[in-house]
Amino acid sequence: MIFCPECGKLMKARDGKFVCTKCGHEEPISKEEKDQMKKVAYMQENDILIVDGDENLGTKPTIQITCPNCGHNLAEWWLRQLRSADESEVRFFRCTKCHHTWREYD
C-alpha cells in the first residue's frame, strides 16, 4: 500500500500508476509493486463461497436432508453471513455423495 506524500490518503492503482483520490497526486507503479499486486474478483450475491480447500477433510457437521441433485439424504452444512449483520445467516449444504452445493434462507 502506498500513501499520498501530499495529503496522506491511501492511493489507488489506476492506469499503471497510483492516484490519490483526494488531491489527485500521481506516482508511477514500480515493477516490484506490480508483482506484489493481484486482482481480486468480487463475488455477486448468488455466488457460493467455500472457504476450505480440501473437500475430503470431513470436519463439517452433517444433517439428513435430501439433495436436490441426486436424492441422497446426507449433507454437510455450514453458515455464512453474506449480507449486513442485522440480517440472518445463510445455511449452505453440500451433498456427501455428489458434492452438489445449495443454500437455504430463513
CB-hemisphere CA count at 13 Å for 77? 16
Tell me which residue range forms the domain holding 48.
Answer: 43-106
Return per-residue pLDDT of the chain as tens, 106 residues. Answer: 578 889 988 888 888 888 998 898 998 888 877 777 766 556 555 555 555 455 555 678 899 999 999 999 999 998 888 777 777 888 999 999 999 999 887 6
Q: How far is CA 79 from the centre of its chain?
A: 14
The count of domains in the chain is: 2
pLDDT, tens only, 41-60: 565 555 555 554 555 556 78
Instruction: Check if 87 is active-site.
Output: yes
From the list 6, 55, 87, 104, the catalytic residue is 87
Is 90 within 8 Å of 104 (Cβ atoms)? yes
| Selected catalytic residue, list 35, 52, 86, 106 | 86
CB neighbourhood size of 73 (10 A): 13
Asked if 22 and 51 sit in the same domain, the reply is no
Cβ–Cβ < 8 Å for 29, 18: yes
Contact assessment for residue 68 and residue 102, using Cβ atoms and an 8 Å cutoff: yes
Any catalytic annotation for residue 86?
yes
Q: Residue 17 to residues 1, 22, 24, 46, 57: CA-CA distances in angstroms?
A: 12, 15, 12, 33, 43
Q: What is the pTM of this model?
A: 0.45
My answer on whether 106 and 66 are in the same domain is yes
Same domain, 35 and 47: no
